[in-house]
A and B are shown apart, each in its own frame.
Chain A
Amino acid sequence: MGILSIFTLICLSVSFVVDKNKTLVGIREGLKLFLQILPALLNILILVSIFLFLLPKEVLIKWIGKDSGWLGVMIAAVLGSVSLIPGFIAYPLGAILLKSGVTYKVVAVFITTLMMVGVLTLPVEVKFFGIKVSILRNILSFIGALIIGLLIGLFL
């Protein structure tokens, strides 16, 4: 938190000194984007709060916690592949999961599949690349995302 505030402050000051108007436009654009994303973010926070209450911690840990092994990894990979969650929301969600006892490995697999594999966006992708290429790209990305997630899990 501290580092982020200082970093933002430095960027703002430098930007302001170089070009005042551009800086103001930037701040306005940024905050506008924030307000756009806010309802979706609040909804996710509410859903997660309720979900974490309904789902006992032991069950969550058993499914996607420390000892969940391959089950946790596969749950994360499938969820990540079929979800359409923007990063703005996925990262806070990942942080909450980590705090609730979910491992870095599972969070990493979820985040990487979420980013690289798009089952729901496949119809769009097909229009640009054709069906064979799109499916091949998604399969390769799925395998790649799993490898990345597992490697991260080895280090964290």
Chain B
Amino acid sequence: MKKAYLFLSEYLIVVLFSIFLSVSQVFDFKPGLSIYSNFWIFFTEMVTFLPLMFILIGLFDVWVPKEKIERHVGNESGIKGMFLVIILAMLQGGPLYGAFPVAYLLFKKGCSIRNIFVYLGAFSTLKIPMLTFEIGFLGLKFSLLRTIFTLPVFVIIGIIMEAYLKNKNFCVKDGTSQKGWQTL
């Protein structure tokens, strides 16, 4: 019962939409049919693409030893450290706010300010699971161009942040601070 309720709440819009489409079909309601043809084009395309992509993501997840790499990334500075944080970021998944706790860990391990922000940049833009999606839907050319232009941008952001924060006692907090907005 609870499961059925959960299903219905998740798929409420889908169910309503299906009813709307059926009614449109029966009464030959033109706008409804037009919306349906829009939807069907998008739907068939997604349904063929997505399961394959998610299988790839699943395989990626079981084969890539993220924790192992995380342990090795730390206070290496210079190009090597930067390279490592970018690789680490590319292997992660999830939304940007999932990267903040990792940034805290990196900071605790002695990662440079520049590399922390390079990590955030790479995390938000170059995650491999997301790149598969990007290539699938927007094309390899788009994805390549975006990657090429994005890399220097977040490295520069890292450099600016480091220059700005160098002598300012900057620290990454663990995120449990109740004070957020108040600490102006």
Contacts and interface: CB of A to CB of B under 8 A. Distances in A.
User: Do A and B make up one complex?
Assistant: yes
Interface of A: 1, 4-5, 7-8, 11-12, 15, 22-23, 25-34, 37, 39, 41-43, 45-46, 48-50, 52-53, 84, 86-88, 91-92, 94-96, 98, 104, 107-108, 111-112, 115-116, 118, 121, 123-131, 133, 136-137, 140-141, 144-145, 147-148, 151-152, 155-156
Contact of B97 (A42, A115, A125): A125
Q: Chain B's interface: helix, strand, loop or mixed, by majority?
A: helix
Contacts of B23: none
Contact of B149 (A27, A28, A34, A147): A147
7 contacts: A22-B62, A46-B39, A49-B36, A53-B31, A112-B146, A148-B150, A148-B153
A5 B35 CA distance: 29
Chain A to chain B: the 5 pairs with minimum beta-carbon distance, closest first: A30-B58, A49-B38, A34-B54, A49-B39, A144-B153
B66 interface: no
A117 to B, nearest CB: 9
A94 B63 contact: no
A133 B170 CA distance: 9
B150 A112 contact: yes
Given A39-B10, A49-B36, 19 more contacts: A15-B59, A27-B55, A30-B51, A30-B54, A41-B46, A45-B43, A45-B46, A49-B35, A50-B35, A91-B133, A91-B137, A124-B97, A127-B175, A133-B161, A136-B161, A137-B120, A141-B157, A148-B153, A156-B142
Q: Chain A's interface: helix, strand, loop or mixed, by majority?
A: helix
A128 to B, nearest CB: 4
Contact of B136 (A4, A104, A145, A147): A4
Contacts of A46: 13-14, 17, 39
B86 to A, nearest CB: 15
A7 to B, nearest CB: 8
A124 B149 contact: no
Contacts of B59: 11-12, 15, 23, 26-27, 30
A104 B14 contact: no
Nearest to A114: B124
A45 B42 contact: yes
B137 A94 contact: yes
A44 B56 CA distance: 23
Contacts of A31: 51, 54-55, 58
